[in-house]
Amino acid sequence: MVWALAEDRRPDADSWLYMAPYWNTYDDGSVCHGSMPAPRTATIDNLPQWSHAFFASRFTGSNLGIQQCGHPEGFLGLW
Protein backbone atom coordinates (compact mmCIF):
# COMPACT_ATOMS: atom_id res chain seq x y z
CA MET A 1 0.00 0.00 0.00
CA VAL A 2 1.19 3.53 -0.82
CA TRP A 3 -0.47 6.69 0.43
CA ALA A 4 0.21 10.43 0.29
CA LEU A 5 -0.04 13.19 2.88
CA ALA A 6 -1.11 16.75 2.18
CA GLU A 7 1.73 18.09 4.33
CA ASP A 8 5.41 17.26 4.65
CA ARG A 9 5.24 15.83 8.16
CA ARG A 10 5.09 12.51 9.95
CA PRO A 11 1.49 11.18 10.04
CA ASP A 12 -0.44 10.50 13.23
CA ALA A 13 -3.70 8.67 13.94
CA ASP A 14 -5.77 11.67 12.77
CA SER A 15 -3.88 12.31 9.51
CA TRP A 16 -5.85 12.20 6.27
CA LEU A 17 -4.35 9.85 3.68
CA TYR A 18 -4.67 10.47 -0.04
CA MET A 19 -4.08 8.52 -3.22
CA ALA A 20 -0.37 8.73 -4.01
CA PRO A 21 0.18 10.31 -7.45
CA TYR A 22 2.54 7.58 -8.67
CA TRP A 23 2.26 5.25 -11.61
CA ASN A 24 0.99 1.74 -10.81
CA THR A 25 -1.01 2.93 -7.77
CA TYR A 26 -4.74 2.82 -7.16
CA ASP A 27 -7.24 4.87 -5.17
CA ASP A 28 -7.49 2.19 -2.47
CA GLY A 29 -3.72 2.46 -1.82
CA SER A 30 -2.86 -0.79 -3.54
CA VAL A 31 0.06 -1.10 -5.93
CA CYS A 32 0.49 -3.19 -9.07
CA HIS A 33 3.79 -4.94 -8.41
CA GLY A 34 4.26 -6.12 -11.98
CA SER A 35 7.85 -7.30 -12.24
CA MET A 36 8.94 -5.41 -9.11
CA PRO A 37 11.29 -7.60 -7.03
CA ALA A 38 9.40 -7.15 -3.74
CA PRO A 39 10.67 -8.34 -0.36
CA ARG A 40 9.03 -11.55 0.89
CA THR A 41 7.51 -9.97 4.00
CA ALA A 42 6.25 -6.54 5.02
CA THR A 43 7.78 -5.43 8.30
CA ILE A 44 9.10 -2.21 9.78
CA ASP A 45 12.61 -3.68 9.51
CA ASN A 46 12.44 -4.11 5.75
CA LEU A 47 10.57 -0.88 4.96
CA PRO A 48 13.69 0.57 3.26
CA GLN A 49 13.79 -2.48 0.94
CA TRP A 50 10.12 -1.95 0.03
CA SER A 51 10.74 1.72 -0.67
CA HIS A 52 13.72 0.89 -2.89
CA ALA A 53 11.80 -1.82 -4.74
CA PHE A 54 8.88 0.55 -5.41
CA PHE A 55 10.94 3.47 -6.69
CA ALA A 56 13.33 1.24 -8.68
CA SER A 57 10.45 -0.54 -10.42
CA ARG A 58 9.34 0.00 -14.01
CA PHE A 59 6.45 2.43 -13.67
CA THR A 60 4.34 1.34 -16.62
CA GLY A 61 0.70 1.87 -15.62
CA SER A 62 -0.46 5.48 -15.58
CA ASN A 63 -3.93 4.44 -14.37
CA LEU A 64 -5.48 6.87 -16.81
CA GLY A 65 -9.11 7.57 -16.11
CA ILE A 66 -8.62 7.85 -12.34
CA GLN A 67 -8.57 11.38 -10.91
CA GLN A 68 -5.24 11.20 -9.09
CA CYS A 69 -4.48 14.85 -8.43
CA GLY A 70 -5.71 18.40 -8.77
CA HIS A 71 -3.05 19.53 -11.23
CA PRO A 72 -4.62 21.51 -14.12
CA GLU A 73 -3.05 19.13 -16.65
CA GLY A 74 -3.92 16.01 -14.67
CA PHE A 75 -1.65 13.20 -13.54
CA LEU A 76 0.70 13.31 -16.50
CA GLY A 77 0.99 17.10 -16.24
CA LEU A 78 2.02 16.73 -12.60
CA TRP A 79 4.98 14.58 -13.64
Q: According to the model, what pLDDT value does residue 17 have?
A: 92
3-state class (DSSP) for residue 19: strand
pLDDT < 50: residue spans in the chain: none
Q: How far is CA 65 from CA 26, 75, 77, in A?
A: 11, 10, 14
Dihedral angle sign, alpha carbons of residues 61, 64, 79, 22: negative
pLDDT of residue 63: 64
Amino acid at 14: D
The DSSP secondary structure of 30-53, one letter per residue, reads -B--TT----SS--STTHHHHHHH
